[in-house]
Structure 1
Amino acid sequence: MTDFPTIARYAVIGNPIAHSRSPDIHQLFAAQTQRTLEYDKILAEPDEFGTVMPAFFEQGGLGLNVTVPFKQEAYALSQILSARAAAAGAVNTLWLQNGLLHGCNTDGIGLVRDLTRLDAQLDGAQVLLVGAGGAARGVLQPLLEAGCAHIHIVNRTERRAHELREDWLSALADHGLPAAHFDEHALSAGNLLSAGTGSWDIVINATASSLQGQAPELPPDIYRPDSLAYDMVYGPEDTPFMRVARIHGAARCADGLGMLIEQAAESFYLWHGLRPDTQATLETMRATWSAART
C-alpha cells in the first residue's frame, strides 16, 4: 500500500523552472484563505513530461501548473478539457477529478485581467502577439473576447505563426466553440519582420526570450505613441524586451508578474473553490523584490 503525504501537494512543472515564483504566490494565497498546502517546482527534461506528470499524481499530488515547454503536451494528455483549454490547444492547469485528468488554460484570463488592471484599452485595440508557442495559444480567445480588433501573430519561423492561427480556428470548430466574434475581428500571422510601422497599441512578448537575457528581434518602429509593451516573462528588474521596447518608443512597459498572479488565482479557484486577493499578492511580491534590492 502506498503511503501518500497528509498535506495537500501542488506544483509547477517546466524547463527552465528555477525562476518560477509560483510557489511563493500559492503560499500567499494559502495564507489569505487559511489553507495548508505544499507547492513545489518540478524540473522535467523535454522528453520526460509524459512520465513525470503522471508520477506526480500517482504519488498523491492534487494539482499541477504547467509552463514552458509542456503546455501543448499537457493538452494532448488531458482526458477532460475545459472550453478555454479546447480553444487554446494548450493546458497550464491540471487536476484529477473522479479518476480523470482535467485540463484548463488560465493564461488568457490572467493576461486580460492584468491588462485591465494596467488600464490598457482592449476594445478596438491593435495587438501584436510575438511568439507561437503554448503561451501565445492560451491568450488568443480571451483577447478577442475582450474586444481586440486585430491580433497579428509573429514568430521567428513564419510557418509556426500560420500553424497557430489555423490550429486555433480548427480547435474552435472541432469543439463547437464560438470564434470570439471572428467575423468582426481580424487575426493574421507572419514573421518577425512583418510587424508593421507604427501599427500597434499593445505588443505582447509571448516568447521565453527574456529568460535567456534576449529580446525578440522586432522592427524598431512598431509602437504607436500611447502603446503598451507587455512581456509575459517577469522579474525584479525590467526584462530585455521591456528595455528594448522603451528605447524604441513604447509609452509604457510591464512585465508578466500580474498575469502570473491572475492566472495562478484562477488555478487556485479551480483547485480550492476560493478566490484570493490578487492585488494584495502583487503588492507583496513587488515589495519583497524591492526590499531585496536595498
Structure 2
Amino acid sequence: MTYQLALFGDPVKHSLSPQIHQGFAQQFGFDIDYQLIQVSAAELRSRINDFFNSGGHGANITIPHKQAALAVTDQLTERAQQAAVVNTLFIKDGQLWGDNTDGAGLVNDFKQKQIQTHNQRILILGAGGAVKGILPALLATKPEHIRIYNRTIEKARQLAARSGNCDVLIKDDTTHAFDVLINGTSLGHHGQSPPLHPEWIKPHTIVYDLSYGEAAQPFLKKAMQLGVTKTFAGLGMLHHQAALAFERWFNRVPKITLPNNN
C-alpha cells in the first residue's frame, strides 16, 4: 500500500520534507506519497480533516499554523501540551493526535553538533510557534538562563512567564553576552534578519537559525560579519524532527545522514 503523508503550511514549496521522508521510507521498503499543501489559516481545519478522512496516514504542520493546529486535534501528546504548538499529526484509536517533535529534534541536532546548552546562557530571537516548539526541550537541558527577544515585548513576556527560567531581553539591551544565539523568527523567508548586536557575542558564541537554505542566510551572514565562526542553519533539526515524526507514524527509527557542515 501507499501511505499518504502531507505538510500543511504557508509557504511550503521550498520544503525538503518530501525528499527526507522518501529517504526514510526507502530504508524500510515503505511506499509513501508526501504532498505539500499550501493552506490559509481559514482553510486549515477543513483541509486537514479532508486529508485524514480520505485516508491520510500522517501529516506535518509548519509556519504559520503550528499554534492553530492545536484546535484541530482531538488529543495532544505531552510534548505538544508543554509546547502548546503542534508540528506532527497522527491517528490513534480513531482520534487525531497532535505531537511536537521540533524541540527534541533541535536538541538531537545540538548533540550531534556538540553544541552545549547545559549551564549556558542562551538568547532566542522570536516568540512565535517555532520558539514555543523548542523551548520546553531546551529548558530540559538545564541551561544557566534563557532570554527571549521579540519585536512585541508583551508576547515575549507571556512566553517567558509560562516557561520558567526565562526572561525577556528588552529592546536594544546590549549589556548581556550569550553562549548560544538562536533565530526563531521567520524573517529570513522574506530576506530579512532580526537585530544582532555585537555586544551579545562572545569569542566562542554559537549562532543557529531554525530555518534552513536561503531563509537562514540573512541572519547567519550578519553573524559571520560580526566575527562569529560557528554558525549553523536548521537543516539538521529538520532531519531530526522529521525522523521523530516518521517514528511516530510507522514505529520505525530511521537513520539520519547529514554532511559534516550541516
Normalised to the residue count of structure 2, the TM-score between the two structures is 0.94
Distance 1:238 1:211, change over 3 A: closer
For 1:276, the equivalent position in structure 2 comes to 254
What is the deviation of 1:79? Answer: 1.4
Match of 1:148, SS state, is: coil
Deviations 1:200-249 (A, max 9, x none): 11100011111111111232321111011000110179611000011123
Could you tell me which of 52, 63, 66 is aligned with 2:58?
A: 63
Could you tell me which of 113, 123, 134 is aligned with 1:139?
A: 134
For 2:242, the equivalent position in structure 1 comes to 264
Match of 2:212, SS state, is: coil
Structure 1 position 91 matched with structure 2 position 81: no
Maintained 8 Å contact 2:180/2:205: yes
For 1:203, the equivalent position in structure 2 comes to 181
What is the deviation of 1:193? Answer: 2.1
Unaligned runs of 5+ residues in structure 1 are: 1-5, 170-181, 287-294
Distance across 1 between alignment mates of 2:46 and 2:170: 34
Paired residues, what number? 262
Could you tell me which of 2, 5, 10 is aligned with 1:10?
A: 5
Match of 2:41, SS state, is: coil
Distance across 2 between alignment mates of 1:226 and 1:58: 51
For 2:209, the equivalent position in structure 1 comes to 231
For 1:188, the equivalent position in structure 2 comes to 167
Structure 1 position 220 matched with structure 2 position 220: no
Maintained 8 Å contact 1:111/1:262: yes
Percent identity between the two aligned chains: 37
For 1:124, the equivalent position in structure 2 comes to 119
For 1:112, the equivalent position in structure 2 comes to 107
Maintained 8 Å contact 1:161/1:191: no
Unaligned runs of 5+ residues in structure 2 are: none
Normalised to the residue count of structure 1, the TM-score between the two structures is 0.84
244-253 vs 258-267, which moves further: 244-253
Report the aligned-residue RMSD: 1.9
229-238 vs 90-99, which moves further: 229-238
Distance 1:284 1:197, change over 3 A: closer
| AA at the equivalent of 1:118 | K
Distance across 1 between alignment mates of 2:149 and 2:191: 20
For 2:20, the equivalent position in structure 1 comes to 25
231-240 vs 6-15, which moves further: 231-240
Distance across 1 between alignment mates of 2:220 and 2:196: 12
List structure 1 runs of 4+ shifted beyond 3 angstroms: 283-286
Distance across 2 between alignment mates of 1:80 and 1:284: 38
